[in-house]
Amino acid sequence: MGTSHHVVALAYHGLCTFEFGVAVEVFGLPRPEMEDGWYRFSVAALEPGELTATGGFRMVAEYGLECLETADTIVIPGWRGPQVPVPQALCDALCAAHRRGARLLSICSGVYVLAAAGLLDGKNATTHWRYADDLATRYPQITVHPRVLYIDEGNVLTSAGSAAGLDLCLHVVRKDFGLEAANRVARRLVLAPHRDGGQAQFIERPVSHDRETQRLNQLFDYLRQHLGQEHSVASLAARIGMSQRTLLRRFTSATGATPARWLLNERLYRARELLESTRLSVEQVAEQCGFRNASVLRHHFRARFSVSPASYRKNFTPAS
């Protein structure tokens, strides 16, 4: 990518500290292993002077909104609240950046800034599950998906709750630099390169019994190691000693997805990894990931990622 890719994080009075820290941690830290190819990072303040931040401290940013004029990627790390108006100057600056091709990311409540600017009209978006209904009500022109960790609409991306910002930012690193670089960043963060499932995993619910949780975790591990095999609800229930009805209920409660949908997600993520990190043919990838043939893989891959496996490999494999 080179040193020209400029990532700018927005700062404002009442700054969401964790969300801002996510942007700094992923895009702003030096990465000597990337030599001169890593991002250039700046902070743009919405207001001049000292800014308050969650946690009782203040900060001063080096630049103002003019910094957005040179940004290739802009991160909106949360917002002051769903009811707090977004200044027109910020909306105008973001729209100008969008028109010239800048990529815009929101973390958690930062989606309200993009929504106020009209940059999500007609698009899919997500936010923290607590805000999802409110966002959909305030902005009916946006299709809100409350169960996912992040959504990539090309040059406008949104993430769910605060920690999901890490998932989204790692996704961006993978797009820009490939799987190996994203994995290195994830290791430094002591974070899984990709979390499975959606927000349904994190919504408050009664905690399941330890023995039951252990059995399900063992099942998840088994399935990930045997994606190439066929699995049925009956075979999965028998493997962990549950009735089929109990398995479906517990599985969906734990993951937010049915076993069939969870398996499809896992197979697609594994296919994506193989396309990025190996030279296996599409047919071989399909076989290893449990798709009946390459045509079935192509169908599901395009439906999920809006690109064919071959095009994905071409665009996302790091240059040697």
HEC string for the chain: CCCCCEEEEEECCCECHHHHHHHHHHHHCCCHHHCCCCCEEEEEECCCCCEEECCCEEECCCECHHHHHHCCEEEEECCCCCCCCCCHHHHHHHHHHHHCCCEEEEEHHHHHHHHHCCCCCCCEECCCCCCHHHHHHHCCCCEECCCCCEEECCCEEEECCCCHHHHHHHHHHHHHHCHHHHHHHHHHHCCCCCCCCCHHHCCCCCCCCHHHHHHHHHHHHHHHHCCCCCCCHHHHHHHHCCCHHHHHHHHHHHHCCCHHHHHHHHHHHHHHHHHHHCCCCHHHHHHHHCCCCHHHHHHHHHHHHCCCHHHHHHHHCCCC
Of the candidates 267, 283, 175, 178, the residue with the CA atom closest to the CA atom of residue 223: 267
**Whole-number Cα distances in Å, 68 to 9, 15, 91, 229:** 9, 17, 11, 49
Active site residues: 108
